[in-house]
Structure 1
Amino acid sequence: MLTVRSADGTPIAYERSGSGEPVILVGGALCVRASTGPLGEALAPNFTVVSYDRRGRGDSGDTDSYAVAREVEDLGALITALGGTAVVYGHSSGAALVVAAAASGLPITKVVLHEPPYGEDDEESKRESDEAGATVVRLLAENRRVEAVEAFLTMAEIPAEDAAGMAGAPGMAEVAHTLAYDFAVMDNGAPGGVVPLERLGKVTQPGLVICGSVSPPFMTEAARKVAKALPGGRLVELDGHHHVVPPEVLAPVLMEFLKA
């Protein structure tokens, strides 16, 4: 394990492997660096790959107050440690963080956005999303961490029985508080967590957007909107796959784009 200090002094833990052009993997909600490790292993023969613990998770530090800008600075510190530029891949809410980082002007060469879970922009959908999010935040405030994770997973359209089992898995309770961070990331740039069209227009890097054909419909629709809004954006839909894609399927898609 390696560490780098972010702009505010927070230590950010990461693993580095392989050689070649740097690629940073940004995990989504409830993920730690081990979550992106298998994809990193698949890419390492061709790239220098970094998987890291976003602040508040795993071996990384945290602060008393959260701001999306601090997570952007964390990515900036990692890019500096890798030599000054990097490709950045983000999965789920991690993809929304990549959008914020790329739009801020960080020296990112290419972006890969894997199913950023932006919501639908009709009033009913936004109301339902806000209510579900408020439930998760309330449970966190009451220190009912496992229940908060379960509520979040249900919100993400995971069947209730599966959500209950996943919420009780080792390590989930320890990172539950960072769900509030991911909500902030999703609302950053477009209140309500909808597709941030104005911010996407500021992403000038070549961009690949990935979605699964059998993911929740709101995610596939968001991916299509994101790809259309990105200047020069490209969409790849993986037939028969859900929100989480096996690395042996995902890595070749990334390699084709990154080597183009």
Structure 2
Amino acid sequence: MDKKTTSRDGTSLAYEVTGRGPVVILVSGAMSTGGTVRPLAQRISDGSTAVVYDRRGRGESGDTAPYAVDREVEDLAALIDAVGGEAALFGVSSGGALVLRAAASGLPVRRAAVYEVPYADFLEGGAEREAAYKEDLNRALADGRRGDAVELFLRMTGLGEEMIRGARQSPMWAGMESVAPSLAYDDAVMGDGLLPRERLAAIPVPVLSVVGGASPEWMREAARVVAETVPQGSHRVLEGQTHMVEPDVLGPVLAEFLAG
């Protein structure tokens, strides 16, 4: 990241800019940094000024206690101000929940797009699973058990026990533990894990909700209902894609929406 700006509470935010055209800020999800969405930013940079950033508590950005979801909305406000005063937003997974919250908050956002926000309304026992995860995660982080926190997250995403054990032995594990405290931030962004219908109904700008055709049925249903709940919603299914969407598949769809 070659640029810095400062959020309202003094937190330093690292970001980078690619391309030319209307500005779009890309928001990563849990266990990730701005580098995670960099390939997508490059894919849409022909027609957009794509901005990627490290969310607070990860990568090259700072962190300021105590955490609050509103501080992350203020981070987006600071970034929008730094890159011209208006922007479209795109968010993946829990980053999408943050984008929808920001779009409903009155920031100068012209359009918003999200990919597979994991609202648990449509997963059997989803609310109970979310509540149990929240309790176990906060306890692990309070005890300083970052590795256990990462395991909880991976298990929540459906990763098998053998793959989790393998991940613990991989060179990437230390980096995953380093951003483990930010798992609580993403969990806070998701709230109770259920779709915030009143907030979504208040979003005043066009919203594109995208989902992978090979993703679980509950995820596909969540994406559809997001599009139905916002006043100016549209919905796209990317055939063959999962939660780990390929930038070359998502990029053209996102670029078309941003140009709209």
Q: TM-score, normalised by structure 2?
A: 0.94
Q: Paired residue for 1:182?
A: 186
Does the C-alpha gap of structure 1 residues 134 and 115 become closer, same or farther in structure 2, counting only changes over 3 Å? Answer: same
AA at the equivalent of 1:157:
G
Q: Deviations over 1:64-106 (max 9, x none)?
A: 2100110000000110111110010000000000111011000
Q: Give the root-mean-square deviation of aligned CA atoms.
A: 1.5
Paired residues of 2:122 and 2:221 also in contact (CA < 8 A) = no
Contact persistence 1:150–1:166 (CA under 8 A) = no
Task: Call closer, same or farther: CA 1:166–1:116 in 2, change over 3 Å.
Answer: farther
- Cα distance change, pair 159–216 in 1 and its aligned pair in 2 (3 A): farther
Please give the secondary structure, in 1, of the residue aligned with 2:47.
coil
The percentage of aligned residue pairs carrying the same residue is: 47
- Cα 1:15–1:164, aligned 2, differ >3 Å: closer, same or farther? farther
Tell me the equivalent position of 2:195.
195
Counterpart for residue 49 of structure 1? 50
Following superposition, the deviation at residue 165 of structure 1 comes to 3.8
| Other-structure match for 2:208 | 208
What amino acid is the match of 2:146? R
Instruction: Name the stretch that deviates more: 49-58 or 151-160.
Output: 151-160
Aligned equivalent of 2:36: 35
After TM superposition, what 4+ stretches of structure 1 lie above 4 angstroms from structure 2?
Answer: none
Which letter maps to 2:188?
A
Q: Which runs of structure 2 are paired with 1:68-217 in the superposition (5 Å)?
A: 68-120=69-121, 124-166=125-167, 168=170, 169=172, 170-187=174-191, 192-217=192-217
Equivalent-residue separation in structure 2 for 1:257 and 1:122 (angstroms): 28
Which residue number corresponds to residue 233 of structure 2? 233
Superimposed CA distance per residue, residues 108-134 of structure 1 (whole angstroms, 9 cap, x where no aligned partner) = 000001111111278943122211232
Q: Show CA shifts across 1:17-61 (max 9, x none).
A: 111110100000011011011111111121111110000011111
Task: Work out the CA distance in 2 between the residues paired with 1:64 and 1:74.
Answer: 14
Instruction: Tell whether 2:7 aligns with 1:6.
Output: yes
TM-aligned CA deviation for residue 147 of structure 1? 2.0
* Distance across 1 between alignment mates of 2:124 and 2:238: 30
Give SS of 2:181's match. Answer: helix
Contact 2:123–2:218 (8 Å) recurs in 1:
no
Quick check: 1:248 aligned with 2:248?
A: yes
Q: Is the 8 A contact 2:122 2:222 kept in 1?
A: no
TM-score, structure 1 normalization: 0.94
Equivalent position SS for 1:244: coil
Distance change >3 Å, CA 37–CA 123, structure 1 → 2: closer
- Secondary structure of the residue aligned to 1:87 is strand
Q: Given residue 184 of structure 1, which amino acid in structure 2 is its aligned partner?
A: A
Q: In the aligned structure 2, how far is the partner of 1:49 from the partner of 1:56?
A: 22
Call closer, same or farther: CA 1:33–1:119 in 2, change over 3 Å.
Answer: same
Task: Give the superposition deviation at 1:201.
Answer: 0.5
Question: Structure 1 counterpart of 2:238, which letter?
Answer: L
Partner of 2:251: helix, strand, or coil?
A: helix
Distance 2:182 2:123 in 1: 27
Q: Distance in 1 between matches of 2:108 and 2:196?
A: 21
From the superposition, tell whether residues 165 and 133 of structure 1 become closer, same or farther in structure 2 (CA, over 3 Å).
Answer: farther
